[in-house]
Chains A and B, each alone.
Chain A
Amino acid sequence: MRIRPPRSIETIHHEERDQAIRSLARLDRRGFLKVSAAAAAAAMTHGLTPHSFQPIRVAEAAAGAPGFRFAYISDSHLYERKQNDRFVRSLMRAVDDVNALDPQPDFVFYGGDLAQLGQAAELQLGAQILKELKAPVRMMVGEHDWYLDLGDTWRGMFGPPQYSFDHKGVHCVVLNSVVEADFWTERKLTPMERMRTVAGLDNGAQRPFTVGDAGRAWLAADLAKVGKTTPLLVFSHSPLYKLYKPWNFWTDDADQVQALLRPFQRVTVIHGHTHQLLTNRVGNIQFHGMLSTAWPWPYAPQGLPEYTIQMNRPDPFDPNDGCGDGEVVVHPDGLVDKIYQLWNRNPITIKSSFLSSGGKKDRPPAPSRGSY
Chain B
Amino acid sequence: MSSNCAAGGSTSVRVAWCAALAAGCTTAAAGPDPAKVATHGAAPFAVQLERLAKLQHGIDLIAPPAGVDPVVWQAMIPKDNQPTAARIELGRKLYFDARLSADGTVACATCHDVTRGFADRRPVSEGIGDKLGRRSAPTTLNAALLTSQFWDGRAATLEAQAILPIVNPIEMGHKTGREATAAIASDPAYTAMFKAAYGRAPNYDDIGRSIAAFERTLMFLDAPLDRYLRGDTNAISESARRGWVLFNGKGRCVTCHPMNRANPIGSDGRFHNVGVSARHQKFGELARQAVSALAKSDTAEAIDRLALETDASELGRFLVTRNRADLGGFRTPTLRNAGITAPYMHDGTMPTLWDVMDHYNKGGEANLFLDGGIESLALTEPEISDLVALMFTLTDDRFATENTAELARQRAAAAVRRPFRDDALSTRKKLQFE
Contacts of B288 in A (CB 8 A): 100, 102
Query: Once the chains are docked, how many angstroms separate the CA of A346 from the CA of B270?
Result: 13
The yes or no answer to B238 lying at the interface (CB within 8 A) is no
Determine if B324 and A97 form an interchain contact, defined as CB atoms under 8 angstroms apart: yes
Assign chain B's interface to a size class: 35 or more
B255 contacts which chain A residues (CB < 8 A)? 317-318
Q: Which residue of B lies closest to A48 (CB)?
A: B321
Closest residue of chain B to A52 (Cβ to Cβ) is B324
Interface centre among B155, B176, B320, B321 (most CB of A within 10 A): B321
- CB pair B298–A18 under 8 Å, yes or no, is yes
Q: Does A216 belong to the interface (CB within 8 Å)?
A: no
Tell me which residues across on chain B come within 8 A of A81, comparing CB atoms.
Answer: 431
A140 is an interface residue with CB less than 8 A from chain B? no
Complex CA–CA separation, A12 to B208 (angstroms): 20
User: Which of A69-77, A260-268, A280-288, A337-345 is the interface stretch?
Assistant: A337-345
Does B284 make an interface contact (CB < 8 A)? yes
Given A14-B298, A319-B373 in contact, is the A6-B368 Cβ separation under 8 Å? no
Q: Given that A93-B369, A342-B325 are contacting pairs, would A10 and B159 also be in contact in the complex, using a CB cutoff of 8 Å?
A: no
A347 CB within 8 Å of chain B: yes
Q: Does A5 contact B (CB under 8 A)?
A: yes
- Are A2 and B320 in touch, CB under 8 angstroms? no
Q: State which residues 64-113 of A face B: CB under 8 Å.
A: 81-82, 85-86, 88-89, 92-93, 96-97, 99-100, 102
Docked-complex contact B325 and A345, CB < 8 angstroms = yes
Q: Which single residue of chain A is at the shortest CB-CB distance from B157?
A: A6
Q: Does B284 contact A3, Cβ atoms closer than 8 Å?
A: no
Contacts of B298 in A (CB 8 A): 14, 18
Q: Is the interface of A mostly helix, strand, loop or mixed?
A: loop
Given A93-B369, A317-B255, the answer on whether A53 and B322 have CB atoms closer than 8 Å is yes
In Å, the complex CA distance between A324 and B323 comes to 13
Which residues in window 298-323 of B have CB below 8 A to A? 298, 300, 320-323
Interface size class of A (residues with CB under 8 A): 35 or more
Question: Which chain A residue lies CB-closest to B324?
Answer: A52
CB neighbors of A among B237-264 (8 A): 252, 255
A344 touches B325 (CB 8 A): yes
Asked if A357 lies at the interface with its beta carbon under 8 angstroms from chain B, I say no
Say yes or no: A318-B372 contact (C-beta < 8 A), given A5-B205, A51-B322.
Answer: yes
When each residue 268-292 of chain B gets 1 if its CB lies under 8 Å from chain A and 0 otherwise, what string results? 0000000000000000100110010
* A54 is an interface residue with CB less than 8 A from chain B: yes
A96 touches B368 (CB 8 A): yes
A302 within 8 A of B: no
| CB pair A317 B252 closer than 8 Å | yes
Query: In the assembled complex, which residues on chain A have CB atoms less than 8 Å from the CB atom of B320?
Result: 8, 10
Q: Which residues of B contact A317 (CB under 8 A)?
A: 252, 255, 372-373
Chain B residue numbers with a CB within 8 Å of A10 are 320-321
- Take A1-B203, A2-B204, A96-B368 as given contacts and tell me if A89 and B433 are in contact as well, using a CB distance cutoff of 8 Å: yes
Contacts of A18 in B (CB 8 A): 298
Other-chain contact of A54, B154, B160, B322 (Cβ < 8 Å): B322
Q: Shortest CB–CB separation between residue B434 and chain A, in angstroms?
A: 9
| Complex: A37 Cα to B287 Cα, angstroms | 27
Chain B stretch 362-404: residues in CB contact (< 8 A) with chain A: 368-373, 375
Does A119 lie at the interface of the complex (its beta carbon under 8 Å from any beta carbon of B)? no
C-alpha gap A89/B375 in the complex (Å) = 12
Q: Is A321 an interface residue (CB 8 A)?
A: yes
Cα distance, A70 to B369, chains bound together (Å): 22
Kindly state the separation between the CA atoms of A82 and B138 in the bound complex, as whole angstroms. Answer: 39
CA distance A347 to B321 in the complex (A): 11
B119 interface hit (Cβ, 8 Å): no
Provide the A342-357 mask, 1 if CB < 8 A to any CB of B, else 0. 1111110000000000
Cβ B433 vs Cβ A85 within 8 A:
yes
B371 nearest in chain A by CB position? A318
Asked if B252 and A100 sit within 8 Å, CB to CB, the answer is no
Residue of B nearest to A1 (CB): B203
Q: Which residues of B contact A53 (CB under 8 A)?
A: 287, 291, 322, 324
Q: Are B372 and A319 in contact (CB under 8 A)?
A: yes
Instruction: For B323, list chain A residues within 8 Å (CB).
Output: 51-52, 346-347
Residue-wise interface mask of A (277-309) relative to B, using a CB-CB cutoff of 8 A (1 in contact, 0 not): 000000000000000000000000000000000
Chain B residue contacts of A11, Cβ below 8 A: 300
- Is A251 positioned at the interface, with any CB of B under 8 Å from its CB? no
Residues in B with CB closer than 8 Å to A236 are none
- Closest chain-A Cβ to B330's Cβ sits at a distance in Å of 15
User: Whole-angstrom distance from the CB of B125 to the nearest CB of chain A?
Assistant: 21
Min distance, Cβ B211 to any Cβ of chain A, angstroms:
13
Residue among A5, A86, A343 making CB contact with B325, cutoff 8 Å = A343
Q: How far is the CA of A52 from the CA of B163 in the complex (A)?
A: 31
Contact B433 A5 (CB under 8 A): no
Interface contact A321-B432, CB-CB below 8 Å: no
- Contact bitstring A41-58, B, C-beta under 8 A = 1, else 0: 000000000011110000
Q: Given the complex, which residues of B lie within 8 Å of A319, measured CB to CB?
A: 372-373
Cβ-defined contact, B163 with A5, below 8 A: yes
**A:2-38 near B, CB below 8 Å:** 2-3, 5-8, 10-11, 14, 18
Cα A89 to Cα B365 with chains together (Å) = 13
Interface membership of A248, Cβ < 8 A: no
Query: A39: shortest Cβ distance to chain B, in Å?
Result: 15
Contact status of A6 and B373, CB under 8 A, knowing A1-B203, A85-B432: no
3 nearest CB pairs, A to B: A320-B372, A318-B372, A5-B160
Q: Which A residues have a C-beta under 8 Å from some C-beta of B?
A: 1-3, 5-8, 10-11, 14, 18, 51-54, 81-82, 85-86, 88-89, 92-93, 96-97, 99-100, 102, 315, 317-321, 324, 341-347
Can you list 21 A-B contacts with CB-CB less than 8 angstroms, sorted by A residue number? A1-B178, A1-B203, A3-B205, A5-B159, A5-B160, A5-B205, A11-B300, A14-B298, A51-B323, A52-B324, A85-B431, A92-B433, A102-B288, A315-B373, A317-B373, A318-B372, A320-B372, A343-B325, A344-B372, A346-B323, A347-B323
Besides A6-B78, A81-B431, A318-B255, 6 new A-B residue pairs in contact (Cβ under 8 A), listed by A number: A1-B203, A54-B322, A85-B431, A93-B368, A315-B373, A320-B371
